[in-house]
């Protein structure tokens, strides 16, 4: 029983990471109609700025470093929207849009290699330790991940429901042309959404530092699993992203209790293929309204 609970804790912790990744994909998809294949490099960049520059080189306290990194990544995301996502969203061909985000990914990867070097590193004292609850060891990093992801989800929900900016985002997600006719600045909305998604990527990058070394490929598998979570839950649906992320996280963790852990990463993609064959719309299909 203790082993099962231990695996469940690990699954929920990683599942929350996949949730946040899937939500980032969903936000950009709803705002611009594009899939951000540069997403993993946004996560990597946030981790490098926080750990490599602010913490290790400049010695900034962790709390201040987190806030500064989030602000930097938000502004970087907004500028990326102006230079990449807004022009790509106006193209008639999705192929050019996909190529554009892939090229962005490579540019960010080589920029990080040039600035911080290829060698991986870590923060030995960042979110270390664990809690013991009824014989079950709960790593502090997983507890922090769950709390942060819940706060993030509640904040996004309240923003969409209770703020003018959030309601504008929902209008753009439903119908860009209709939103423009209503006086909503669609390009500014995309800029804000990409900035928000970059800030979320930054948070993800910081949270996974105690689990993974800071390196150029640190978010490659996580980004793919988050994408799988979005499809399994129902692409374009934020509740679906939550369900898909937790499902993949828990299933892959429980699998390691009965099967070889070397195949752990395969679980997400087996689930993805299964849902594409049986239920391609996902668990919670995004609702659309026809008028």
Q: Locate the domains of the chain by residue range.
A: 2-278
DSSP bridge pairs for 132: 137
Distance in angstroms (rounded) separating the CA atoms of residues 125 and 102:
34
Q: How far apart are CA 46 and CA 219, in angstroms?
A: 11
Give CA separation, 67 vs 3, 17, 27, 74, 167, in Å: 37, 19, 21, 11, 26
- pTM, two decimal places: 0.89
pLDDT tens profile 138-148? 899 999 999 99
Nearest CA to 158 out of 146, 169, 143, 147 is that of 169
Structure tokens at 248: 């993949």
Q: In which element (H, E) is residue 137 found?
A: strand 136-139
In this prediction, residues 47-52 reach a mean pLDDT of: 94
How far is it, in rounded angstroms, from Cα 176 to Cα 31? Answer: 8
> Which residues are bridge partners to 138 per DSSP?
131
Torsion of CA 258, 259, 265, 269, to 10 degrees: -90
Residue 289 has pLDDT above 60, yes or no: no
Residues 183-202 have a mean pLDDT of: 87
Name the residue with tokens 């390009």: 187
Residue 262 has pLDDT above 90, yes or no: no
Given this model, what pLDDT does residue 290 score? Answer: 46
Topology of domain 2-278, per CATH?
A: ABC transporter involved in vitamin B12 uptake, BtuC (1.10.3470)
Q: What average pLDDT score do residues 243-263 get?
A: 88
pLDDT attached to residue 61: 93
The two structure tokens encoding residue 143: 């507890």
Q: Which of 119-123, 157-161, 286-290 has the highest mean pLDDT?
A: 119-123
Residue 223 token pair:
């980004």
């Amino acid at each position: 029983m203790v082993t099962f609970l231990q695996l469940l804790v690990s699954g929920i912790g990683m599942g929350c990471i996949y949730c946040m990744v899937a939500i980032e994909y969903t936000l950009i998809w709803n705002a611009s109609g594009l899939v951000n294949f540069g997403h993993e490099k946004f996560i990597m960049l946030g981790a490098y700025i926080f750990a490599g520059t602010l913490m290790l080189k400049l010695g900034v306290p962790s709390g201040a470093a987190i806030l500064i990194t989030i602000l930097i990544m938000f502004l970087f995301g907004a500028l990326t929207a102006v230079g990449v996502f807004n022009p790509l969203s106006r193209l008639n061909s999705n192929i050019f849009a996909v190529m554009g985000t892939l090229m962005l990914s490579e540019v960010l990867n080589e920029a990080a290699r040039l600035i911080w070097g290829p060698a991986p590193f870590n923060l030995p004292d960042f979110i270390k330790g664990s809690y013991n609850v009824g014989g079950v060891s709960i790593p502090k990093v997983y507890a922090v991940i769950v709390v942060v992801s819940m706060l993030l989800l509640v904040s996004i929900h309240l923003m969409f429901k209770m703020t003018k900016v959030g309601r504008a985002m929902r209008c753009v997600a439903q119908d860009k042309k209709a939103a423009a006719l209503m006086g909503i600045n669609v390009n500014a909305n995309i800029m804000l959404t990409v900035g928000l998604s970059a800030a979320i990527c930054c948070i993800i990058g910081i949270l996974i530092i105690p689990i993974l070394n800071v390196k150029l490929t640190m978010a490659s598998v996580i980004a793919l699993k988050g994408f799988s979570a979005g499809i399994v839950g129902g692409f374009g649906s934020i509740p679906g992203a939550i369900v898909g992320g937790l499902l993949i996280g828990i299933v892959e963790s429980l699998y390691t209790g009965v099967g070889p852990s070397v195949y752990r990463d395969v679980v997400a993609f087996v689930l993805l293929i299964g849902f594409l064959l049986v239920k391609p719309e996902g668990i919670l299909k995004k609702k659309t309204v026809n008028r």
